[in-house]
Every structure is written in structure tokens, then in C-alpha cells.
């Protein structure tokens, strides 16, 4: 390993420790000044951590804040020593009950980023790596997060997404609103044949956690398997959410 690689790894740890001590969002300038890094390399480092799902970028305040993916790095040890009431425990319970990959997503502008992911232990299962981005108007997690907003905000986000739509294409705003309203009534959302034909995701809203954005708990599966087990899978996600509320 080169000296440059060692230095980069050290800086990642220093950034995470800085946020642990600060316990608040920080701008690129604040991080760079606190740690003595050049502005350009600080910006690149924070952008990389954001792309991997370890930091969230707040466009309005031009600041970064750690995500729950940082917490996941040591949660297994906490569970072993102290409790079984954490998010990781809830995700593992869903995976045991369903056999499917379990994800946690947050909205980043017109997209959803999966900041946590537990892969299925079953052979030939689908893979949903942490850090993956999906359009907020198309993914089940995105629709769940949109359901927590008012209709005017949903329309604004949908119009913004449509203005920047590329290969994914535009989303009919009226149809999206109907899906979001249905999600509010039933408490869950589903996306079928997305991002590719034959794939589906199912999502429910998570309890609000202090200092964190709204989050969705989701399952990924092949469409036919998810449709066949839909009531049981919804129940598994709801049970996990209830366990988190109780904890």
C-alpha cells in the first residue's frame, strides 16, 4: 500500500471522528479548517463519502452530516454486548423472516440512496449494494418518503425529476400523486419491474430518528416472489418498524 493510500485512509477516519466529536453538520470549509486539509481534497473526500452513503449532503445549508451507515459499522458489537433493540437487529429480523435483502433508504433531492443494506443469505438472490441511487419518483422507498410530504411538495419534486430525466424517462405527475396517496392510506408502497423487468421492491416508512432525515425500510425481490407473498412481507416490515418504535 502506497503512502498516499495510507494517508487517504487516515483522513477518512479523521473525518468520521471529527463528526463524532462535533455532533452536528459541517461544511467543507469547516471540516478542512478543523483537520488542516486543503479545500480541494476535503471537498473530494466528503463527496466520495457521500457517494458511498456515509454522509448526506444538505444542498440548502451546503453542509454534510453522517448517515446511519456510519452507525452500522459498530452496531453489531453494540448488539452483542448490550441489546437487541437496534436498527441492525430489526433488519436482521426481517431478513430471517423473509429471506430477502433488507434496505434502508433516504431521499437525496430527486433520488433515493440506500445507505444500509443486508444481503440475502439465500443462493441466487438479488443484490442491492449500499450506496445505490434510485429515482425518488420510481422506487418504492422514494414513494414512501414522498408520502410524508404534502402534495404540492411532491409535485415540485416530480417536476424537477422530470426536467432532469434521462434514461429512466419522465413520470406522469398525476399517476405519481395517486400512488403517493395510496401509500398514505395503506402505509406501504411497491415498485414493480423496476429498475429492470422482473424486479420489485416493497417499502414502509421508518420511525423518525433524532438528527436523521426521513427513512424507508425496504425489501427487494423478484416480482413474482414478492407478489405471491405480499401480505406476509408487509407484515414483516411493519413488525420491524414497531420493534424500532418500542425500542
CATH number for the domain harbouring residue 199:
3.30.450.40
Statement to judge: residues 206 and 161 lie in one domain? yes
The Cα–Cα gap between 71 and 88 comes to 9
Shared domain check, 75 and 36 = no
Choose the final residue of a domain: 40, 66, 92. 66
Q: What is the pLDDT, as a whole number, of residue 82?
A: 44
Residue 1 pLDDT exceeds 60: no
222 and 129 in a common domain: yes
* pLDDT tops 50 at residue 54: yes
Which of helix, strand or coil describes residue 130? coil
CB-neighbour burial class of residue 223 (10 A; exposed 0-12, middle 13-18, buried 19+):
middle
Percent of the chain with pLDDT over 90: 49
Q: Are residues 122 and 155 in the same domain?
A: yes
pLDDT at res. 51: 85
Q: Among 17, 34, 66, give the residue marking a domain's end.
A: 66
- What CATH number should be reported for the domain holding residue 12? 1.10.10.10
> Exposed e or buried b for every residue in 143-154, given b needs 16+ CB within 10 A?
bbbbbbeeeeeb
Please confirm whether the linkage preceding 195 is cis (ω < 30° from 0). Answer: yes
Whether residue 116 sits in one domain with residue 193 = yes
Interval 216-232: pLDDT, tens: 999 999 999 999 999 99
Question: Three cell numbers at 114?
Answer: 440506500
Of the candidates 140, 154, 73, the residue with the CA atom closest to the CA atom of residue 105? 140
Judge if pTM exceeds 0.85: no
Task: Verify that 78 and 116 share a domain, yes or no.
Answer: yes
Domain limits for position 80: 70-246
Task: Give the whole-number percent of the chain exceeding pLDDT 70.
Answer: 89
- 94 and 41 within one domain: no
Is the same domain home to 98 and 9?
no
State the pLDDT at residue 9. 83
Helix (H) or strand (E) holding 229, with range, is none
Q: Are 21 and 133 members of one domain? A: no
Residue position matching grid coordinates 477518512: 12
Kindly state whether residues 125 and 200 are assigned to the same domain. Answer: yes
Shared-domain flag, residues 117 and 20: no
Q: Which three cell numbers stand for residue 241?
A: 418498524
User: For 206, which DSSP code?
Assistant: P
Per the structure, how many domains does the chain have? 2
What mean pLDDT, rounded, does the chain reach?
86
Same domain, 226 and 104: yes
Amino acid at each position: 500500500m502506497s503512502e498516499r493510500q495510507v494517508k487517504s485512509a487516515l483522513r477518512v477516519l479523521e473525518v468520521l471522528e471529527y463528526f463524532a466529536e462535533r455532533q452536528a453538520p459541517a461544511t467543507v470549509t469547516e471540516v478542512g479548517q478543523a483537520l488542516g486539509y486543503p479545500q480541494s481534497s476535503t471537498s473530494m473526500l466528503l463527496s466520495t463519502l457521500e457517494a458511498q452513503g456515509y454522509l448526506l449532503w444538505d444542498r440548502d445549508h451546503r453542509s454534510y452530516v453522517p448517515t446511519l451507515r456510519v452507525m452500522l459499522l459498530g452496531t453489531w458489537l453494540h448488539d452483542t454486548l448490550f441489546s437487541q433493540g437496534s436498527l441492525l437487529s430489526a433488519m436482521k429480523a426481517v431478513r430471517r423472516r423473509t429471506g430477502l435483502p433488507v434496505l434502508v433508504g433516504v431521499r437525496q433531492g430527486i433520488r433515493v440512496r440506500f445507505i444500509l443494506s443486508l444481503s440475502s443469505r439465500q443462493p441466487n438472490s438479488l443484490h442491492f449494494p449500499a450506496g445505490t441511487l434510485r429515482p425518488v419518483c420510481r422506487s418504492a422507498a422514494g414513494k414512501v418518503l414522498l408520502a410524508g410530504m404534502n402534495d404540492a411538495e411532491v409535485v415540485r419534486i416530480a417536476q424537477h425529476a422530470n426536467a432532469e430525466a434521462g434514461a429512466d424517462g419522465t413520470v406522469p405527475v398525476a399517476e405519481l400523486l395517486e400512488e403517493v396517496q395510496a401509500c398514505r392510506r395503506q402505509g406501504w408502497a411497491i415498485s414493480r419491474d423496476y429498475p429492470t423487468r422482473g424486479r420489485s421492491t416493497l417499502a414502509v416508512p421508518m420511525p423518525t430518528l433524532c438528527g436523521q432525515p426521513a427513512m424507508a425500510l425496504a425489501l427487494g425481490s423478484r416480482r413474482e416472489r414478492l407478489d405471491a407473498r405480499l401480505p406476509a412481507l408487509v407484515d414483516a416490515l411493519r413488525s420491524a418498524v414497531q420493534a424500532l418504535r418500542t425500542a
